[in-house]
Amino acid sequence: MNKPYWGLWSLLLAAFAFFVVLSFWQDGIRVGSLDIKTATFARDLLNVPAHHAANDSTDGQGNTKPKRQPMDTTAKTILFFGDSMLEGLAPRLAAYCDKSGHTLIEVIWYSSSTLCWGESTRLTELMAKYHPDYIMVCLGANELYVPDIKNARRPHLKKILAEFGDIPYVWIGPPNWDEDTGINDLLAQELDEGSFYLSAHDKFERSRDGAHPTRASAHQWMDRVVKWMNDSCYHPIRLDYPGEGIARASRIVIYQPPV
């Protein structure tokens, strides 16, 4: 082959190699003010997943991620504990539980926080008494403004989670009415993947205190949580749609605000 053709083929091979490499760059590249979009032909040709370097079963750092479990359709004893937000959430959840054959234990500790639950023995006592096989929590609304919250509350949050052991759980984050100082970030960092429902960006109709959702809005909130559990939670359980109704939990425990 003539030398001019060798040069041409070299240029073509170099260009092909460049675009092959570029096609693995999922989000494109930017050169100055120019955005270069990437193609997927090489990934498709080689049958490489879209996340290129990372395996879908890892977090990108080689750590194994938990896999989403199949829907558990067995009847559960669900312990649902937290602060006063349960007043609006629990009646709607009870309707789902009635429809799906679950037993719901509702525990409201007014004005409570991760600090209260972490320092007390109440959770230990509840676990021993009711032997739940699924846990739901709504806590954090009373901690929106705690300074240095990650250091102040992390030990208490870890203690609560240690109480759960291997029991699957869902933690419903607070329905922010204002910017928080880090409670949602702390929950996102410490809770198991697929176990945290972030409520902070949801839209709510508020009651007169400006914080609690109205009953109707709380019911819609619970509906959104259930939909998320069906679609994204790592430990989904059967929660059949109960129509528009509400119900009463099998057992309701109420604790007065901490002194």
For the chain, give every domain's residue range. Answer: 3-46, 77-255
Opening angle at CA 109, ends 103 and 111, nearest 5: 145
Of the candidate ranges 55-59, 103-107, 141-145, 201-205, the one whose mean pLDDT is the lowest: 55-59
Residue 213: beta bridge partners? 206
Amino acid identity at 199:
S
What is the average per-residue pLDDT within 192-212?
97
Domain 77-255 has CATH 3.50.50.60: no
Using CA atoms, how far residue 84 sits from 6, 37, 236, 244, in Å, is: 77, 50, 25, 22
Cβ-Cβ contacts under 8 Å for 89 (sequence gap 6 or more): 80, 138, 172, 218, 221, 222, 225
Cβ-Cβ contacts under 8 Å for 4 (sequence gap 6 or more): none
Q: Does pTM top 0.85 for this prediction?
A: no
User: Residues of the chain with pLDDT > 90: what percent?
Assistant: 73
pLDDT at residue 56, rounded to an integer: 39
Of the candidate ranges 23-27, 66-70, 201-205, 222-226, the one whose mean pLDDT is the lowest: 23-27
Q: What's the order of all strands across the beta sheet hosting 77-82?
A: 196-197, 169-172, 134-138, 77-82, 103-109, 251-255
pLDDT at residue 52, rounded to an integer: 31
What is the average per-residue pLDDT within 36-63?
41
